[in-house]
Amino acid sequence: MATSLNTSIVNELIRTEWNDELVRELSEYIEIPALSPAFDPEWAANGHLQNAVDHVYSWISKQPIEGMTARVVEVENRTPVIVAEIPAFGGTTTDKTVLLYGHCDKQPEMVGWEPDLGPWKPVLRDGKLYGRGGADDGYAAYASLTAIRAVQEAGGSHPRCVLLIEASEESGSPDLPAHVAALAETLGDVELVVCLDSGCGDYETLWLTSSLRGMLATTVTVEVLTEGVHSGSASGVVPSSFRILRQLLDRIEDSGTGAVLLDSANTEIPAYRIAEAEAMAEYLGPEIEPFPFLPGMAAMATGAAASINRTWRPTVSYVGADGMPLSKDAGNVLRPSTSLKLSLRLPPNAEAEAVLADLTTALTTDVPYGAKVTLGGTESADGWNAPDLSPWLKTSLDAGSQAAFGAPLQLMGEGGSIPFMGMLGQSFPTAQFAVMGVLGPKSNAHGPNEFLHLAYAERLTGVLSHLLNDSAAEL
């Protein structure tokens, strides 16, 4: 049976921290342009990622949490990770581990920020803290340790906890397997994983992530010439690299519907996930998320169909281009090459490596005119489908949601990726997962005007305190 928590102490401590120190710490963190290694290949020399690690570690090391030890772990040629170990508290005898996960690397700046906002400019407005990385996912370390501290000061109990904050998640977590292997003894027997790097359907209740899509990113380049030539002289003789690329893309995507044509990328959708999407649509209404459409623009789908599209069906997005000058600088030149960066989101149960093999075959076989096609900068990661919730975990999360929000727990699939979840699912097959987050409507992670909804973060921290206290009696 779980130790009784003094709820008033939990709520007051969390409220005080979120209304003062945590906002100040996160504001300073937002100011650090800690781009993930995929976007800053010279990250080690530039030092921004290390500054972010040092900033978060400095706060962690000062927390008055009984028995905690913390360190920054370095592995050669890898980004560092922060590890904090907190022994079991309150008479708990279990030797099981609760692993709390987050990251401190960030996505690039992106254009389109409102005039008074910016990626590295923290702005507190209307209960939201704007700036890159606060919600995705800088707050995780602060919320996790504040929840543990609240349990201890409110007379509760918790199992052994390990906080792991990585610095390569936005690049697909390429450095994490090496760290997990090196930290095997530290991690111990993980029976519950808490991840705060996910989203919420609204800010009125607790949302638990039930699945995550996999991802595959690559830059495909079509080359036809060694140098650009006069378009009037060459057009009609030299094929356009853009036209060839367009033909190749028709092999992987139906341009009329957006359907991905690769067999390995299309998997069977479990009936219970379809039912979950229908329940989510009934709860939220036909507009699953209020995207900033232009006037007159229609969505590809609404309601449950939209939920399924963004969680269990593959999609391809074209997120970058090379070889094309800005329109104002473009002359009448037939360009030697065109490159497009493709971002594929894959169903949770698709095998990313199999999709990559099919994609490579589709784009590089029987290329029109014998043009040269290469794929570069490729990264991939499998998705994740959550195991069934243990009764105690569902009861705890639902009670936490009722206490913090006055509303029941809701389940939702996420369209994004957290590669670490798939890794952990394989490493700890009996573990339970509580994947949650603050990325709700209009919070716009990876885009302009990203914000952290402070009231939701505060309530989520309270839910986590009660979950840790309950887990002491269940693990």
> What's residue 172's pLDDT?
86
CB 248 within 8 A of CB 359: no
Instruction: Report the DSSP beta bridge partners of residue 336.
Output: none
CATH code at position 354: 3.30.70.360
Q: Please determine, for residue 1, whether its predicted confidence score (pLDDT) is greater than 70.
A: no
Note whether residue 19 is domain-resident.
yes
Query: How many structural domains is the chain composed of?
Result: 2
Looking at the fold, whether 174 and 185 belong to one and the same domain comes out as yes
Looking at the fold, whether 136 and 192 belong to one and the same domain comes out as yes
Q: In this predicted model, what pLDDT tens digit does every residue of 144-197 receive, in sequence order?
A: 999 999 999 999 999 999 999 999 999 989 999 999 999 999 999 999 999 999
> What's residue 4's pLDDT?
84
How far apart, in whole angstroms, are the C-alpha atoms of residue 451 and residue 123? 9
3-state secondary structure of 31: coil
Q: Please determine, for residue 424, whether its predicted confidence score (pLDDT) is greater than 90.
A: no
pTM of this prediction? 0.91
Count the Cβ atoms, other than its own, within 10 Å of residue 45: 7
Q: Is 154 left (phi over 0), alpha (psi -120 to 50) or beta?
A: alpha
Instruction: Report the DSSP beta bridge partners of residue 98.
Output: 161, 192
Range of the domain at 345: 214-269+313-381
Tokens 């505060």 locate to 458
Where is the domain boundary, 381, 405, 428? 381
Looking at the fold, whether 112 and 222 belong to one and the same domain comes out as no
Looking at the fold, whether 318 and 441 belong to one and the same domain comes out as no
CB 241 within 8 A of CB 337: yes
Q: In this predicted model, what pLDDT tens digit does every residue of 21-80 receive, in sequence order?
A: 999 999 999 999 999 999 999 999 999 999 999 999 999 999 999 999 999 999 999 999
pLDDT band at 2 (very low <50, low <70, confident <90, very high): low
Tokens 């009329």 locate to 256
Looking at the fold, whether 55 and 71 belong to one and the same domain comes out as yes
What backbone torsions phi and psi does residue 115 show, to the nearest 5 degrees?
Answer: -55, -35
Looking at the fold, whether 416 and 345 belong to one and the same domain comes out as no
